[in-house]
A and B are shown apart, each in its own frame.
Chain A
Amino acid sequence: MNSSRLCWPTPNGLPAVAPAVVVSVCLLLLVISASAVELDLVRLITAIPRMFEFASHLLVLPDWEYLPTLGTNMLQTMEMTFLATSIALVISLPLGVLAAVNASPHPVVFHVTRNLLTLMRALPELVWALVFVSAVGLGPLPGVMALSFVTVGFMGKFFAESIEVIDARQVEGVAAHGAGWLQLRTFAFFPQVFPDFVGTVMYILDHNLRAAAILGLVGAGGIGYDLVMAMRMFDYGRLLPIALSIYVAVTLLDRMSDKFRRRLI
C-alpha cells in the first residue's frame, strides 16, 4: 500500500459518518436554496464597483444644518431604548419567577408562562411595530410598545433560565428557617441571580438600542425614519452622520456594559 496516500484518522480512512452527514446535509440545503435567494455570482461581482461608487458618495461633507435634528432623534432613540427596557424589566421579573421550574407555584402556571414568553418573542419588534403603528398611529409610542412587548419575551426567558441554575442548598437553608413563599423568592433566589440578571439587562439594552435605531423604518419613532429617508433620497450628507452615530452609540454601550459586567462578576 502506498504510504503517502491521504486518508482520514478513522478505522477505514474514510470521513467519519456523523460529521460527513451533517456537512453534506448543510451543503445540500444551501445548494437547493441557492435559487430561492437568487444567488448570482455575476450580479455579486458587478455589484462590487457599485459598492465602491456608493462608498465614494458617502465621502461628502455632512449636512451641518441637519446635525441638531440628528442629535434630537438619536436622543429619542436612546430614550425609547431605556424606557422600553425598564418597562420590560418590571414585567419580566414576576414572569421570570413564574416561568422557572424551581420557582413556579404550579406546573400549569409554569407551562402557561413559558409558552406565553415564547409567543411574545416569536415575532420581531418590527412586525409588532407595524401592527401598533396602525393601532395607535405614528410616533415613539408604538415603538416603545413593540420593544417592551418583545423584550418581555426574551428577558422573562433569560431570567427564568438563570433562576433554574441556582444552588438549591442555599434555598433549602432559608426554607429550613420557615421562610414564606415570597420571602423565599426575595431572600434566597434573588441574591443569587442578581449578577446574572444585571448581565441579561445589559445585553438586552444593547440589543434594544440596535432595534430602536431601525424602528423608525415603519414610523415608530427614533432615528430609523431619517435613515430610510436619507437612503431613499440619496441624501448622502445625512446618511454617513446617521450611520456613524448609530455605530458610535452601539459601540459605546457595548464597551460600557462589558466594563460594568466585569466589575460586577
Chain B
Amino acid sequence: MGMEGIGARVARKEDKRFITGKGKYTDDMVVPGMRHAHFVRSPHAHAKIKGIDTSAAEKMPGVIGILNGAQLTEDAIGNIICGWMIHSKDGSPMNMGVWRPLAQDTVRYVGDAVAVVIADTKAQARDAAEAVVVDYEPLPVVTSAVEALKTGAPQLHENAPGNLIYDWEIGDAAATDAAIAAAAHVTEMKIINNRLVPNPMEPRAALGVYDEGEDHYTLWTTSQNPHVARLVLSAFYNVAPENKLRVIAPDVGGGFGSKIYIYPEEIVCLWASKRTGVPVKWNCDRTEAFLTDAHGRDHVSTIKMAFDADNRITGFKVDTIANLGAYMSLFSSSVPTYLYATLLSGQYNIPAIHANVRTVYTNTVPVDAYRGAGRPEATYLLERVMETAARELGVSPAELRRTNFIREFPHQTPVIMCYDAGDYDASMSAAMKAADYDGFAARKAEAKGRGKLRGIGMSCYIEACGIAPSAAVGSLGAGVGLWESAEVRVNAVGTVEVLTGSHSHGQGHETTFAQLVAERFGVGIDSVSIVHGDTDKVQMGMGTYGSRSGAVGMSAVVKALDKVEAKAKKIAAHLMEADESDIVIENGELKVAGTDKSVPWFQMALAAYTAHNLPEGMEPGLKEGAFYDPSNFTFPAGCYICEVEVDPDTGVTEIVQFVAADDFGKIINPMIVEGQVHGGLAQGIGQALLEGTHYDPETGQLLTASYMDYTMPRADNLPSFKVSTTETACPGNPLGIKGCGEAGAIGSPPALINAITDAIGNNDLTMPATSERVWAAIRAAQ
C-alpha cells in the first residue's frame, strides 16, 4: 500500500484548517454590498394568513426590502418538490401538497417562513422582522401521524384527504399471512422509531448574489450536493437558468442528510438578491435549525415474525405509519419505502416478507433522510424482534440469528435487494469474541452484588449503500440518476488535481481520495488536491449521502485514473522507446519492467505538456474524466454487542461496553473508518438513549428546540468503543468498497435497547430509553 496508499492510516489533511479555525464556511463569505436576511416565521403550527402588514417594519433603520409569498408567486418561483415519485398500492401517485418557499395562504408548522426582511445588518433585519405584523387565524393542529390518520383530524393539504400521502406496499401479503398462520411461533411487537433532530455542528446558511451586468447568480450554501441544488433551483424552482447559476458549497460543518435538501431560505436568498439588487446572506441560529432543518425517523410500526418448529423464520409482516411533517421534502418519499422496506430481510433467509407503509402529513417540520435513512428503522424492527423472539423461544439470541443467517451469495431477498457478498458468521464471531460474550453471566452476577442490573444485547445489521444503479432507481421513481463523476488533472509538474462530484463535509475526502492517487502513481498526498463543492469547477456530480462517496465517488475516480495511467504509460513508453505493455509505475517512476530504464513521474507529465516528443497523433496534456454508474447497491453488514448496567433506583443506564465488528469491504483509511463508526455509534446511542423530540400535541410548538431540552449525546454518555472490521470485498465496484458512513447509526440502537431490556427483564421499552422510562419498565415488570 505504501506510506500513503490504500489502507494507510494517514492523518486527515483537512484537519489542520478545521482544528485551527481556518475552515471557510458559508457564513465566512463576505462580498461587497452584502446585506442580511431575517425570516419572519410562523409562531403557529397551523393557521390561515389573513394579512401581512409591513408598513412599520419598512420604516425601520437599515431596511432594504421586505418580501413575501405574493411577490415570489409574481416572479413565478416554483413550488418546493419531492423528487421521488411513489405510487400507492392502488396505482395512484403520491399526494404532494403545495409547498411555497414563503407561505402564502396557510402556515403548516411552527417556523414556516412567511416573509423575509433584508437589511444592512443582521440585527436590523431581526428588529424589523419583529415589527412585521402577520394576521393569523389559528387552525386545529395535529402532530402525531397516527392521530392525523384518524377521521376528524385537522386536514393539512386539500389534495391529501385524511392527510394520507401514499399507502404503499412491498412483498407478498398472501404468502406472509399464510406463513404466520402456519407458524410454530409468532413474535408480535409494536415499535416506535423516535423522531430526531439532525444537529450538524454548523447551522444552515446561504449567500445569494445576483450580478446584473452578467445576469448571473451565485449561491454559497451549506449543501451536501451543490450540483443537485443547482439542478433543482433551475429546473424546478425557476430561480435561475442552470448556465447562469453557480452553486458553491465551501467547507460544510456536517450534514447527516439534513443538508441534502434545497430549503426555502436558499431559494429566497438567491431570488431576493435579484429582487432587491443586493447580495443577501442568511445564517440560522440553533433554535431556527431545530425548527426548520428536516428531522429524521418518526415511524410507528406493528410487526409479526413467524418461526417454524426449528426456529427458522418463515415470514415477516410489517405495518408502518411514517410522519413526513407538513410538506414533502426532497427525498422524503423514498426514505420509508425503498430505503427502508427493501432492507427488511436483514441478514436472514426470510421466504416471505410483506410491508405496508402509510405516510402522513402533520403540523411538524418536514421529515427526510437522516444518517441511515430508512435502514436504521428497518434494522431496529428486525433486531428488536429477533432478540425478543429468542427470549420467547428460549434460545440464545446469537443462536437464533445463526440459524437464520444467509450464507450463499448472491442472495435475492423477497424485497428487491440482491445481496452480492457477505460473511455474517465472521462478524458475529469477531464481535462475540471482542465482547467476551461467554463471560457475561459472571459479569452479571458480579454487578448484581453491587446492586446493578447488567444486560447484554446484540444487533446484526445490513445496510444498502451507494444507492444505484441509475436505471434501477429511475424505475422505482427517483427523479435523478445516481452515478458519480470525476476528473483527474495531472499538472505539468506532476502534481495532481482530482475533481469530484462527491462533497466532503466531514468525511475526509481530501485525504482518502488523495490516497487513491498516491497508491496508483506514487505521488505524495500533499501533491494531490481534491476539488469539490463548486459547480463552476466540477462539471457535474450527485453529492454525498447514503455512504456513496467511497463506493460510487471513488469508483469514478478510479475510472479516470485508469485512463490517465494508460496515457501516461504510452508517453513513458514513447520516451524510453519501450513497449507500452512493459511499463510499470513504482515509487513515483515509470519503469520498463525488468530493465533499469525509468522516467520520473513529473518528467512524463512535463512531456505531456511540452508536447515536444509525444507519440504520433497523441493529444497534448494529461487530464481525463469519467462517469461511474454502479451495477448494484453495496451491502455493508456487521454485528454490534452492547453491555449495560442499569441502576434500579433511578433507571439510569450506563453503557459499560460497546463492540462493533463491521464488514465494510476494502478500507482506504482505517483511521477515518473508525472515526465514521465512532460518530455513527454516538448518534445511534443518542437516538436510543437520549434524543427525544417533543411537539406539544395541542399547539404544535416544538418543546425541544434547544440544548436545554434536547439531549445530544456527549462524551460522558459514551464508553470507549471497541471497533474492528472483517472484510469481504464488494464485487460490484473496482475497489471492493462497501461504505461506512451510516453503519454505526444503523446498527447501534437495537443493540443498546436489547441490552437494557435484557437487564430489566421487560421487552416493552421505547426509545429514547430515558431513565424514567427504564425505571417505569422495571416497576412494570415487577
Q: Do A and B share a complex?
A: no
Q: Spell out A's residues near B (CB within 8 Å).
A: none
Q: Spell out B's residues near A (CB within 8 Å).
A: none
